[in-house]
Structure formats: structure tokens, C-alpha cells
Amino acid sequence: MNWKRLESLLPKEPGARMLALGLLLAGCLLLCWSFFPQQTADHSSSSSGEDLESYTAELESRTEILLRQIQGAGAVHVMITLEQGQTTVYQTDDAVREDSTANGDSAYEKETAVVFGESGGDEQALVTANQEPKVRGVAVICEGAGNPAVEAAVLNTVTSLFSINTTQVSVVAGIADP
């Protein structure tokens, strides 16, 4: 490589030359950095999606096992849809403040604040509960659903199991697994 030619491309002023060399060095570092595998710190969206999928699959499997126990049900396939992911409930501190006006009227104002505590040297919001996702709807394909008694038993079991309305459940007759 011809160093004289490269040097002629750099600005003549010392400050500008240092800036140009710094930018060139930063560009080289960025280029080298791109060859190393990156580890992202935010896996929450993919892992929570995977957690939700595994939770749904487990729920479907357990529901199928239960529904197969109904006399005459036969082979059963279940699909469940959920409203949202797991919800975290945080501990709060509520305060009510009364303001009196000059004419004797009172106004009340409620303030809610999330309570924080220390855990391992870090300050974190205190969690009071983790609520499992709510079931939005259930589809059941059941070999014995052609029998009205079996269909009713499956419908009642699913609505009771998930505390949902009959309009959120579909039970249809299906073909047995080969």
C-alpha cells in the first residue's frame, strides 16, 4: 500500500487530521465488531411468546385428556385461544386527600403509587400476584359430538373448566384419528 498517497488524502490541519484518523479508527472498530456474534439483552418478547405458546399447548393437552374421559367422547382435539399473556399485579399504596374550599365544600383526590422494595441491592416494584392468561375461546373436535348428550357434556365441561360462556365454545363432531 502506498502510504504517501494515503497521507495525501488526509487534511493538512492537525485538528482535522486527528478527527479524520479518529473517524477512520471508529469505522474500523465498527466493521470488526460486526463479525462478532451479538447477544441481545431483551429476550422478553420472544421468550414470553414461547412461554405463552407452551402454556397454551399444556392447557390444550390437559383439556383433551379430561374430555376423553367423557363416556362416548372418543378421540378429542382441542384448540384454545387466550386474551393476553400473563399479567403482573404490583403492590400499591393508596392515599386519599381531602381539600376543603372556602365555602365549606370538600373535594377528594385519590393517589395511587407503586410500592418498591430492595432485592439483591436493586430497587424493584413489589409483585402481589401473577395472573394467568384468560381463555377467550375453545374449539373442540370430538368424535362423539354427533350424540347430543356427549356434545352437551363436552360443552358443560369446557364452560365450567374455564369459566366462560357457551358462546365462547364450539363443539363439533369429527373423524377419529387414523
133's grid cell: 392468561
Kindly report the backbone phi and psi dihedral angles of residue 142, in degrees, each rounded to the nearest multiple of 5, phi listed first.
Answer: -130, 130
The residues, ordered by sequence, that sit 6+ positions from 81 with a Cβ below 8 Å of its Cβ are 135, 136, 137, 138
Per-residue confidence in pLDDT tens, the chain, 178 aa: 566 766 676 667 777 667 766 666 666 566 655 555 544 434 444 455 677 888 899 999 999 999 999 999 999 999 999 987 666 667 777 777 777 777 777 777 777 776 777 777 777 777 777 777 889 999 999 999 999 999 999 999 999 999 999 999 999 998 756 5
Q: Say what the pLDDT of residue 110 is.
A: 75
CB 79 within 8 Å of CB 94: no
CB 64 within 8 Å of CB 77: yes
CB 129 within 8 Å of CB 156: no
Distance CA 63, CA 35 (A): 48
- Residue 124: strand pairing partners: 117
Its pTM stands at: 0.53
Distance CA 34, CA 40 (A): 14
